[in-house]
Structure formats: structure tokens, C-alpha cells
């Protein structure tokens, strides 16, 4: 039951009439939204500064929708989507895009699978024709599926098996979620990946690749009129495969036991702590908690010099690096992460105790009003800088719609951030930072390896997206 | 249907891409910059690039320019680290300080409403950095942690060994980060000296894009750069001689995969055959899914997630290089395929179809890069760093179009020879052995 709900119906009604004047108002920053009769939601983001356009088709299906025992099938199919149709030879889509000066790729996450091309705007119809073709007419040859399974296994070997940080992240997430499939890696568990077949992939494709389960984002040098004309021409004729399924996954029970984990590996140069708490996600019409968590992450770890953890730990010589991260684009509850690398001479135990002291003090005193003001100023500035990248905005709308938000929700997000108060921050901080639904992991050098460190990535989620 | 569409699009492509209007700006103080003016979004992006970068480290002070660069944002004038960062954040401005082998690059994004204040803050960072002792110690510990972490990263291990073999006594041969020992020995005085070697007006180029007039940009240039010394204390680096020899170096690393790095002779960006090599590289391994190496190693055999090549056109030295990672068990096979493709192109050149497809891609892709103020500012600074003329943007595609199959044949005959390729393998590769003693690490 995807969304013949009120906003979509309104958009459909409006879209059928010449309402395009609205696209020129500054309030919507050049965003137009319509839905084709077959259920394909389309968002057009206008930016005519350069003769470039990006097409991204997002399917509302990801690794968290996989049946037990078939982990990795969403990502494996993403790879196989390049293996041709009745009209396209294996690899021809990418070769054609490249031969026309464009680039293309695809990525898979917990909640979505997406395919994109970036190309000169006078060649938009070419890539729309090919993308529409593989939405309906995928063919997977006997020879291709086995070599490609080997490719995804090599991808896993490169991204995960060769990197102790990735291996540990996989296990931490498997531990954070008792029951929800977010506990499974997007790329899949190796033993299950080895058993995936062409039949599994085709079944996945037949069940989930349909215009009413997809979102089309066109960003850059294209008008809404032209976008609609091309969308109707190429995607319009593809019939929906029945009603879209509601995305009901196993949910987390109440968690009562904070967990601790430790992994040692000789390839780890220096101890790194990663702590994750289950946290609420952005929801349609209800993004206040997610906005407050976004501000909380900035206040705690946004800057090494001025954030709370930066000032109290990094600037005081207790940690080399600190980070706090949160991303609210998620169908089901997501996670809030904190990571740190102890300074030379600090034991992991002492560094973690210092971190907990700072967090406890913050929960008592709340944010400094000047800190909150500065974070808000940066958020306002980011709103302007964001307009410099149509490609970046395409991701915002695509991720939003693919995780159940409306265009209005995505439009409203900067205002939701601007509206966050100190009380909001404290409300979510108390809920999340005191939560027992958490995992604290230490990744340690195997004795007697010498100490050294790696900067924690911007967040500590395990490869949230896997590029094709 | 699709075939017909492609033919149509190829025909359209002969029309030149739209011209990009770059203004040559000189400030009242005599500082030059290139500007693309666009008032659609109320901010400006500026990139300042100082030639020479970390290759200007003084003898025995490896890592000084890198440490200095990372400490520029740690307080200036009467503001310490925290106060300086708070002031920048309070304006919603964004500064970045990066250094590489060829340039030290400072980036700035500032809103129209407080652009002057942002420029004044950036000027303080460049002209009056405090280099406070506690800030130096903190950043030093971070740099050392990166050095140690690179020592356990197979990609870094391979890159460092290749650079060591390639560049002899030139700074390119060693990491800009320095070593644990060289960084440990650096003093505040070393950082001040490092700054004076590289941050000077005689070696800066500037690219700007966004909502700013040439007059306003002139004022900004004088504000940000006017207080810098006219001349750097170090001469620009000398060209490096490529010392690389053909062969295989194996570095033992306990991992399911081997990181494969390979390199041979390259050519400078002002070489008459540069564009022919540029086209050839696209066909050999630069063109993503379309390249010969990707086809043979990934698409047909599933031996890797990705393999690619690039013309590494450093200002002071060049290679034609590439890399991949794949199972230990099939590393020998993958290396054989790379060598085969290297020689196949050297002997047979490229087909007309490949040549045409490559040219269509390379000319079609170029205008797509100019898609925002941030990217344009970076491109404008980068062009000046290399020494391109201001009309390069609008003539570059003609040079790609002019490449013939004969041109390609000539340049690949000159540069590609599998016997000249050096492979550095980090892992436990099977089916292949080192051709010389393993390096001591």
C-alpha cells in the first residue's frame, strides 16, 4: 500500500493541471513532484547552471526486506541489473552511458536500491529509455550470473573481510538488533552469498521491481514539462505488478541489557571505541525527534574544536579523535553513534570513563545556548551551500521518499532543524543516551602490535551503502 | 531503438559544448585570480592553491609542511583554537586546509551576508597563525596516529613502496606525512619556517565562483593574501626522474586478498602526445565498466570488484599506473591479464570504434564537471596550477577530438611495455613470485 494517500493524490491532481508556475517560487527551490498513473512517483529538481542532468531510480526495497537465508540478494540483483534486457546486451547500458559522456552506477542499502546516471542534459531521454527498459525487461544470462556472484564475493573480500573495522562493525550491528533485519549486513553473510542463484535474483526482481515501488528523481538541467513528457513516454507504459506491499519487518522488542563487545586483530593499529544506541528515525509529518537528534550529534561531536566531546576530550588530551553521528533516513528505528580514539597514554577504560563523565554532565546541564546558536547558524548556511549541488539534493529527495517520507517532509527538514530548542535536544538526549538498547564495542590491536590510530569515519555505521 | 538513439546523439555531439566565461581578475594590490560569476546562489567559493605543496619540505624536516597546514586552523591572532573555530562557525563560513605533493590548497565558502568577516578570519589564519604549543602537540599526535595506521593498511603500504622505488631522492619518494621520528622532532620554529617556504604570493593561484563581482573579488584577494610575504623562502621543486624498473615486488600481508599496484612510465600534461595517451588510458583502464581491463578481469572472470588505470600527471613527475584487489589464489592470473592487456594495446593500438567511443565520453564528460560554484573554483585553480591558458576550457575538447588512431599507436608504442611495469603486491599472492628481494619495511 505504498501511497495512494492524500499527499500523493493531491500531487497527482495538481500535476495533471498546468501548475508549473509554482516551480519558480523560491519557497520550493525548484522542486516539482508528480505521480504517473502506474504509481511511479517523480521528483524534478531544477538547476540550469550547467548542461548536466542526473537520473536516479530508487526502488523501495533493500537488504532489510530480504528473506532469512538470502542475505545479499538485494545487492546481488543490483549487480545483475547491468546484465542486459531483450534490447541491451550485458554491460551495454553502462557502455552506452559512457560512450555518451556520462557515468553510471548503482547502490544498495538497508531500505532501498538505486540506479543512477549523470549525463549531458541533451541525452536524458537515452538514459531514461534504458533505465525504463530494465525496470520491466531484465534478462540474466546463464554465463553472467556465476561470474557476477564471484564479483560480489570479491567486493565483500575487499570491503569487509580485508578490513577489521568493517568486520567488527558487522558484528556490532548484528548485536545491536536482536530481531530487526538491520542486524544483517547489506552485502550479505559470506556463506549465504555463496548460495545465491539466478533464480533467487529473478524472483526478487519479479516481486519488487515495479513502477509503483519506485521513485524517479531527475535533477539538473531539465524542466518539469520535459521531465513529465519523457517519464510518460518511457516509464508510463510499464504496468505496476499488483499492489505495493507494506514494508512490515520484524521489530525490536524492549531491550534491557546494554551490550559490550571486544575484538582484537593484528591489523588494528590502535584502540577505537564505537558505541551505538537505537534511536528514532524521521517519520512522515513527525521529524521533530530526528531533527533534535541531528542537532544533538552536531553539539556533541560536530567539530573537534568546539563540540562538547571535542572540547572536553580531544582538546584536553584525552582523545585523539571523537565523533558523534546520526542519520534519520530510515524506515525503522535507526542508530545514534559515538566513537573515539584514546589519546596516546590513555587506556581504553580511562578514555571511556572520561567520555561517560562528559555525557553525564551534559545530561545534567544541557547545551550552552551559544553552542546551540552556532550549530543553528551552520545549519542555515548549509541550506544555502546545499543548493550548489543538484546531485546532492537528488539524494535527499530519493532517500526521503524511499524511506517513507513525503516531498513535503523533505522540504520541511531545514525548518525542522531550525525549530529545535534546547529542551528538544535534552528530551532526545535523555531517551537515547540513557537507553539500554546499546552496544559499546572496542576494536583493539592484537598483542603485541604497536599502537597507532585511525580517524573514525564520519559515522560508525557499517558500510551503509554498497556501490555496484 | 536504442541503437538508433545513440547514432542520433553522436551526431548532436559534434556541436561544441557551451562556452564558459572565465574572467581574469587583478586586485588593486596586484593579485590575480580567475572568476566565474554566477549570482543564482548567495555565496562564493574560492580556492587558493600554493605551488610546491609538501614537496617544499626542508631537508630533514619531512612532514613539516603537512603538520603546519593542519595547524593553520588551530588559532590565529588573538583567538586560540576554540575561539577561532567558534568565530568561523558563527559566520556559517567553511574553510579547508589541505596539502599534497604539488600544492597546498586553502578552500573557502562564505555567505554574501558576511563575506568580508569571513575573509578577514581566513587572512588571520594564513598570516598570523598562532601555532600554540598545545595545538601543535595535539595535531602532531593525530598525524602520528595516521602514520601508524597507514603502516597497517595494505593500500598505503603498496603506494609507499611504489613511490619509494619510483622517485629516488625526490620528495615524491616519501610520504608528505613524514615518519614517526621526523614528525616527533618538529618544533614550532620548524612550522614557522615551513609556512614561509610555501605560503607566499609568488606561488599562489586563485579560482573563484559564485555571487561576487570582479571588484569585490579583488578586495577579497587583498584581504586574504595581502599580508603574505611576496616571495616564498624555498625555490619551487625540481622535476623528478622516474627510477622505476620492471618486475614484481611482494610484501607479505595476512589477508584474504592481495592489493595489486602497478606503474610504468607516464608523460607530462604538456607533452604533445598527452591527449592521445589520455584517450588510450580511457580505453585501457580509465573508463570504468567500459575499459579493456575491467572487461577481462571483472566482467569475464569475476577476479576483482574493480580494476583501473590512470595517467598520474604530477607537476614534477609522471607515471601511467593502476590498481586492483583480488583473491590471493587468483592474483597471478590477474597480473598476467594486466600484462597481456598492456602489450596488446602497445602492439595493436585501439580500434576506430573504441577511439570514437572514448572521444565521445571524454568530450561529453568535460562540461559536466562545471556543475557548481565549489567544483568550478577548484577547476579554475587546478588549471592555473598546471599552467593552462585561460581559454583552455573552451579549446580542450578540440584537442581530444583531434586525436587519431595513429596518434594513439605512437604514444602507446612509446610508453606501454609490460616489461617496464613494476607490480607491488601486498598480500599472500599465489601463482606469482617476487623478482627481487622483498623490501624491508
The string of pLDDT tens digits covering residues B249-263 is: 999 999 999 999 999
Q: Residue A16 corresponds to which cell in the numbers above?
A: 495533471
ipTM, 2 decimals? Answer: 0.88
Task: Tell me the residues of chain B between 363 and 402 that have a Cβ less than 8 Å away from chain A.
Answer: 363-368, 370-374
Distance CA B54, CA B104 (A): 7
Confirm whether B113 is domain-assigned: yes
Q: What SS3 class is residue A324?
A: strand
Min Cα separation A257/chain B (Å): 33
Domain that holds residue A337: 259-461
Single residue among A170, A199, A234 that ends a domain in this structure = A234
Residue B384 has pLDDT above 50, yes or no: yes
Q: Where are the beta strands (DSSP E) in A129-258?
A: 214-220
For residue B438, name the pLDDT band (cuts at 50, 70, 90). Answer: low
Confirm whether B433 is domain-assigned: no
Closest CA to A253 of A184, A310, A178, A191: A178
- Strand pairing report for A41-46 and A214-220: parallel
Contacts of B91 in chain A (CB under 8 A): 377, 381
Average pLDDT over residues B94-109: 98
Annotation says A92 is catalytic: no
Residues B263 and B409 in one domain: yes
On average, the pLDDT of chain A sits at 89
Residue A181 has pLDDT above 50, yes or no: yes
Q: Which of A305, A389, A455 sits opposite B81 (nearest CB)?
A: A305
Residues B349 and B395 in one domain: yes
Cβ pair B148:A451 closer than 8 A: yes
On average, the pLDDT of chain B sits at 93
Residues A296 and A171 in one domain: no
CATH code for the domain of B304 = 3.30.830.10
Contacts of B183 in chain A (CB under 8 A): none
Q: Which of A82, A155, A266 sits opposite B305 (nearest CB)?
A: A155
Residues A18 and A78 in one domain: yes
B352 close to A (CB below 8 A): no
Cβ pair B6:A100 closer than 8 A: yes
Confirm whether A251 is domain-assigned: no
Single residue among B158, B192, B225 that ends a domain in this structure = B225
Confirm whether A110 is domain-assigned: yes
Residues A127 and A181 in one domain: yes
Average pLDDT over residues B200-220: 98
Distance CA A155, CA A230 (A): 35
Task: Tell me the residues of chain B between 192 and 251 that have a Cβ less than 8 Å away from chain A.
Answer: none
Min Cα separation A16/chain B (Å): 29
Confirm whether B69 is domain-assigned: yes
Single residue among A196, A219, A234 that ends a domain in this structure = A234
A390 close to B (CB below 8 A): yes
Interface-testing mutation among B152, B254, B370, B425, with chain A (most A C-beta atoms within 10 A)? B152
Q: Which of B256, B298, B364 sits opposite A161 (nearest CB)?
A: B256
The catalytic residue among A66, A78, A213, A354 is A78
Closest CA to B285 of B173, B421, B431: B421
Min Cα separation B101/chain A (Å): 22
Size of interface A-B (CB pairs under 8 A): 234
Confirm whether A105 is domain-assigned: yes
Residues B129 and B214 in one domain: yes
Confirm whether B65 is domain-assigned: yes
B145 close to A (CB below 8 A): yes
Residues B220 and B297 in one domain: no
Confirm whether B275 is domain-assigned: yes
B14 close to A (CB below 8 A): no
Instruction: Determine contact, residues A304/A247, Cβ cutoff 8 Å.
Output: no
Residues A31 and A163 in one domain: yes
Q: Residues A405-445: pLDDT tens digits?
A: 999 999 999 999 999 999 999 999 999 999 999 999 999 99
Residues A301 and A159 in one domain: no
Residues A64 and A131 in one domain: yes
Closest CA to A404 of A267, A264, A287: A287
More confident residue, B439 or B182: B182
Residue A125 has pLDDT above 80, yes or no: yes
Single residue among B193, B225, B257 that ends a domain in this structure = B225
Residues B129 and B57 in one domain: yes
Residues A201 and A325 in one domain: no
Residue A195 has pLDDT above 70, yes or no: yes
Q: Which of B9, B10, B288 sits opposite A103 (nearest CB)?
A: B288
Residue A111 has pLDDT above 70, yes or no: yes
For residue A143, name the pLDDT band (cuts at 50, 70, 90). Answer: confident
Q: What percent of chain B lies above the pLDDT cut of 90?
A: 90
Residues in chain B: 441
Closest CA to B53 of B97, B9, B3, B112: B97
What domain count does chain B have?
A: 2
How many Cβ atoms from other residues are within 10 Å of residue B189's Cβ?
9
Residues A226 and A267 in one domain: no
Confirm whether A254 is domain-assigned: no
Residue A319 has pLDDT above 60, yes or no: yes
Q: What SS3 class is residue A51?
A: coil
Q: What percent of chain A lies above the pLDDT cut of 70?
A: 89
Instruction: Determine contact, residues B68/B52, Cβ cutoff 8 Å.
Output: no
Cβ pair B367:A388 closer than 8 A: no
Cβ pair A389:B367 closer than 8 A: no
Contacts of B94 in chain A (CB under 8 A): 381, 385
A344 close to B (CB below 8 A): yes
For residue A464, name the pLDDT band (cuts at 50, 70, 90). Answer: very low
Interface-testing mutation among A120, A136, A317, A468, with chain B (most B C-beta atoms within 10 A)? A120
A16 close to B (CB below 8 A): no
Min Cα separation B257/chain A (Å): 7
Average pLDDT over residues A311-323: 96
Residues B194 and B290 in one domain: no
Q: Residues A323-348: pLDDT tens digits?
A: 999 999 999 999 999 999 999 999 99
Residues A289 and A140 in one domain: no
pLDDT value of residue A242: 85
pLDDT value of residue B439: 55
Q: Measure the CA angle with vertex A463, ends A460 and A467; round to 5°.
A: 150
For residue B436, name the pLDDT band (cuts at 50, 70, 90). Answer: confident
Cβ pair B148:A314 closer than 8 A: no
Cβ pair A126:B367 closer than 8 A: no
Residue A39 has pLDDT above 50, yes or no: yes
Confirm whether A358 is domain-assigned: yes
B5 close to A (CB below 8 A): yes
B18 close to A (CB below 8 A): yes
Residues B335 and B419 in one domain: yes
Residues A171 and A113 in one domain: yes
Residues B35 and B182 in one domain: yes
Average pLDDT over residues A370-385: 94
For residue A142, name the pLDDT band (cuts at 50, 70, 90). Answer: confident
Residue A252 has pLDDT above 50, yes or no: yes
Q: Residues A48-73: pLDDT tens digits?
A: 988 999 999 999 999 999 999 999 99
Of all residues in chain B, the one with the smallest CA distance to A88 is B2
Q: Residues B126-165: pLDDT tens digits?
A: 999 999 999 999 999 999 999 999 999 999 999 999 999 9
Of all residues in chain A, the one with the smallest CA distance to B397 is A101
Residues A324 and A198 in one domain: no
DSSP state of A314: I
Residues B350 and B389 in one domain: yes
What domain count does chain A have?
A: 2
Q: Which of A88, A158, A384 sits opposite B43 (nearest CB)?
A: A384
A386 close to B (CB below 8 A): no
Q: Which of A101, A133, A154 sits opposite B364 (nearest CB)?
A: A101
For residue B18, name the pLDDT band (cuts at 50, 70, 90). Answer: low
CATH code for the domain of A404 = 3.30.830.10
Residues B181 and B108 in one domain: yes
Residues A398 and A291 in one domain: yes
Contacts of A158 in chain B (CB under 8 A): 257, 304-305, 325
Closest CA to A404 of A335, A327, A332: A332
For residue A458, name the pLDDT band (cuts at 50, 70, 90). Answer: very low
Domain that holds residue B33: 23-225
DSSP state of A458: S
Residues B140 and B107 in one domain: yes
Residues B143 and B59 in one domain: yes
- SS3 per-residue string spanning chain B: CHHHHHHHHHHHHCCCCCCCCCEEEECCCCCEEEEEECCCCCEEEEEEEEECHHHHCCCCCCCHHHHHHHHCCCCECCECHHHHHHHHHHHCCEEEEEECCCEEEEEEEEEHHHHHHHHHHHHHHHHCECCCHHHHHHHHHHHHHHHHHHCCCHHHHHHHHHHHHHHCCCHHHCCCCCCHHHHHCCCHHHHHHHHHHHCCHHHEEEEEEECCCHHHHHHHHHHHHCCCCCCCCCCCCCCCCCCCCCEEEEEECCCCEEEEEEEEECCCCCCCCHHHHHHHHHHHHHCHHHCHHHHHHHHCCCCCCCEEEEEEECCCCEEEEEEEEEEHHHHHHHHHHHHHHHHHHHHHCCCHHHHHHHHHHHHHHHHHHCCCHHHHHHHHHHHHHHCCCCCHHHHHHHHHHCCCHHHHHHHHHHHCCHHHCEEEEEECCCCCCCCCCCCCC
Task: Tell me the residues of chain A between 247 and 286 that have a Cβ less than 8 Å away from chain B.
Answer: 266-270
Confirm whether B17 is domain-assigned: no
B302 close to A (CB below 8 A): yes
Cβ pair B147:A391 closer than 8 A: no
Average pLDDT over residues A241-249: 87
More confident residue, B74 or B440: B74
Task: Tell me the residues of chain A between 125 and 154 that have a Cβ less than 8 Å away from chain B.
Answer: 125-126, 129-130, 133, 146-154
Confirm whether A239 is domain-assigned: no
Confirm whether B2 is domain-assigned: no
Amino acid at each position: 500500500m505504498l501511497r495512494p494517500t492524500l499527499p500523493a493524490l493531491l500531487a497527482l491532481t495538481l500535476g495533471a493541471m498546468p501548475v508549473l508556475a509554482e516551480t519558480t517560487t523560491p519557497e520550493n527551490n525548484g522542486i516539482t513532484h508528480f505521480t504517473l498513473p502506474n504509481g511511479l512517483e517523480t521528483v524534478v529538481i531544477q538547476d540550469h547552471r550547467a548542461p548536466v542532468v542526473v537520473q536516479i531510480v530508487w526502488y523501495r526495497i533493500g537488504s532489510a526486506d530480504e528473506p532469512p537465508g538470502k542475505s545479499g540478494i538485494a545487492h546481488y540483483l543490483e549487480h545483475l541489473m547491468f546484465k542486459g534486457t531483450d534490447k541491451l546486451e550485458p554491460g551495454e547500458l553502462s557502455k552506452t552511458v559512457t560512450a555518451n559522456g556520462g557515468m553510471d552506477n548503482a547502490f544498495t542499502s538497508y531500505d532501498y536500491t538505486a540506479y543512477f546516471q549523470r549525463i549531458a542534459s541533451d541525452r536524458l531521454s537515452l538514459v531514461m529509455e534504458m533505465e525504463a527498459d530494465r525496470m520491466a525487461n531484465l534478462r540474466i544470462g546463464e554465463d553472467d550470473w556465476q561470474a557476477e556472484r564471484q564479483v560480489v564475493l570479491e567486493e565483500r573480500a575487499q570491503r569487509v573481510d580485508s578490513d577489521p573495522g568493517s568486520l567488527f562493525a558487522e558484528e556490532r550491528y548484528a548485536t545491536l538488533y536482536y530481531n530487526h533485519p538491520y542486524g544483517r549486513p547489506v552485502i550479505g553473510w559470506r556463506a549465504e552469498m555463496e548460495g545465491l542463484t539466478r533464480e533467487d535474483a529473478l524472483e526478487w526482481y519479479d516481486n519488487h521491481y515495479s513502477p509503483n515501488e519506485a521513485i524517479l528523481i531527475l535533477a539538473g538541467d531539465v524542466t518539469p514539462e520535459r521531465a513529465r513528457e519523457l517519464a510518460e513516454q518511457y516509464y508510463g507504459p510499464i504496468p505496476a505488478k499488483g499492489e505495493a506491499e507494506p514494508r512490515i519487518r520484524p521489530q525490536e522488542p524492549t531491550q534491557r541489557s546494554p551490550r559490550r563487545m571486544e575484538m582484537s586483530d593484528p591489523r588494528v593499529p590502535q584502540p577505537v571505541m564505537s558505541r551505538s544506541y537505537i534511536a528514532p528515525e524521521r517519520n512522515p509529518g513527525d521529524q521533530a525527534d530526528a531533527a533534535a537528534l541531528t542537532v544533538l550529534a552536531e553539539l556533541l561531536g560536530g567539530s573537534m574544536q568546539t563540540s562538547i566531546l571535542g572540547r572536553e576530550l580531544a582538546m584536553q588530551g584525552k582523545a585523539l579523535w571523537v565523533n558523534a553521528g546520526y542519520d534519520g533516513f530510515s524506515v525503522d528505528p535507526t542508530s545514534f553513534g559515538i566513537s573515539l580514539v584514546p589519546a596516546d597514554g590513555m587506556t581504553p577504560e580511562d578514555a571511556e570513563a572520561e567520555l561517560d563523565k562528559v555525557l553525564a554532565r551534559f545530561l545534567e546541564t544541557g547545551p550552552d545556548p551559544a553552542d546551540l546558536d552556532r550549530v543553528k547558524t551552520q545549519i542555515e548556511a548549509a541550506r544555502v551551500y546545499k543548493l550548489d549541488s543538484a546531485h546532492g539534493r537528488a539524494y535527499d529527495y530519493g532517500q526521503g521518499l524511499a524511506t517513507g517520507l513525503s516531498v513535503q517532509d523533505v522540504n520541511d527538514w531545514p525548518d525542522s532543524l531550525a525549530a529545535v530548542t534546547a529542551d528538544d535536544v535534552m528530551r532526545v538526549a535523555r531517551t537515547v543516551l540513557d537507553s539500554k538498547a546499546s552496544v559499546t564495542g572496542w576494536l583493539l590491536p592484537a598483542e603485541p602490535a604497536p599502537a597507532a590510530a585511525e580517524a573514525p569515519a564520519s559515522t560508525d555505521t557499517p558500510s551503509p551503502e554498497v556501490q555496484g | 531503438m536504442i541503437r538508433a538513439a545513440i547514432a542520433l546523439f553522436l551526431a548532436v555531439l559534434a556541436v561544441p559544448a557551451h562556452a564558459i566565461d572565465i574572467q581574469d581578475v587583478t586586485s588593486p594590490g596586484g593579485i590575480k585570480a580567475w572568476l566565474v560569476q554566477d549570482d543564482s546562489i548567495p555565496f562564493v567559493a574560492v580556492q587558493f592553491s600554493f605551488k610546491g605543496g609538501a614537496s617544499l619540505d626542508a631537508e630533514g624536516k619531512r612532514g613539516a609542511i603537512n603538520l603546519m597546514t593542519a595547524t593553520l586552523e588551530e588559532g590565529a591572532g588573538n583567538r586560540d583554537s576554540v575561539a577561532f573555530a567558534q568565530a568561523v562557525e558563527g559566520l556559517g563560513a567553511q574553510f579547508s586546509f589541505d596539502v599534497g605533493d604539488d600544492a597546498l590548497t586553502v578552500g573557502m565558502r562564505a555567505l554574501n551576508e558576511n563575506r568580508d568577516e569571513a575573509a578577514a578570519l581566513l587572512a588571520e589564519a594564513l598570516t598570523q597563525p598562532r601555532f600554540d604549543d598545545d595545538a601543535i602537540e595535539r595535531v602532531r599526535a593525530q598525524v602520528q596516529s595516521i602514520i601508524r595506521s597507514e603502516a597497517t593498511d595494505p593500500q598505503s603500504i603498496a603506494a609507499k613502496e611504489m613511490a619509494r622505488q619510483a622517485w629516488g631522492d625526490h620528495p615524491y619518494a616519501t610520504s608528505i606525512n613524514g615518519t614517526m621520528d621526523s614528525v616527533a622532532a618538529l618544533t614550532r620554529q620548524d612550522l614557522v619556517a615551513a609556512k614561509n617556504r610555501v605560503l607566499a604570493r609568488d606561488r599562489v593561484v586563485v579560482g573563484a565562483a559564485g555571487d561576487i563581482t570582479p571588484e569585490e573579488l579583488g578586495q577579497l584577494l587583498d584581504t586574504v593574501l595581502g599580508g603574505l610575504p611576496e616571495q616564498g623562502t624555498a625555490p619551487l621543486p625540481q622535476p623528478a626522474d622516474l627510477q622505476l624498473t620492471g618486475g614484481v615486488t611482494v610484501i607479505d600481508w595476512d589477508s584474504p586478498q592481495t592489493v595489486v599496484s602497478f606503474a610504468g612510465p607516464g608523460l607530462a600534461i604538456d607533452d604533445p602526445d598527452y591527449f592521445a595517451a589520455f584517450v588510450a588510458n580511457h580505453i585501457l583502464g580509465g573508463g570504468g565498466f567500459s575499459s579493456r581491463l575491467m572487461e577481462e578481469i571483472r566482467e569475464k572472470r569475476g577476479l576483482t570488484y574493480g580494476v583501473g588505470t590512470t595517467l598520474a600527471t604530477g607537476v614534477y613527475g609522471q607515471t601511467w599506473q593502476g590498481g586492483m584487489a583480488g583473491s590471493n589464489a587468483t592474483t597471478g592470473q590477474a597480473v598476467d591479464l594486466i600484462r597481456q592487456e598492456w602489450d596488446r594495446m602497445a602492439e595493436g593500438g585501439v580500434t576506430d570504434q573504441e577511439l570514437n567511443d572514448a572521444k565521445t565520453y571524454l568530450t561529453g564528460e568535460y562540461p559536466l564537471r562545471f556543475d557548481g560554484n565549489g567544483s568550478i573554483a577548484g577547476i579554475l585553480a587546478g588549471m592555473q596550477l598546471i599552467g593552462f591558458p585561460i581559454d583552455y576550457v573552451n579549446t580542450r575538447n578540440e584537442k581530444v577530438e583531434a586525436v587519431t588512431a595513429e596518434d594513439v599507436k605512437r604514444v602507446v608504442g612509446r610508453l606501454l611495455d609490460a616489461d617496464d611495469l613494476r607490480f607491488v603486491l601486498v598480500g599472500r599472492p599465489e601463482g606469482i613470485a617476487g623478482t627481487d628481494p622483498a623490501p624491508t619495511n
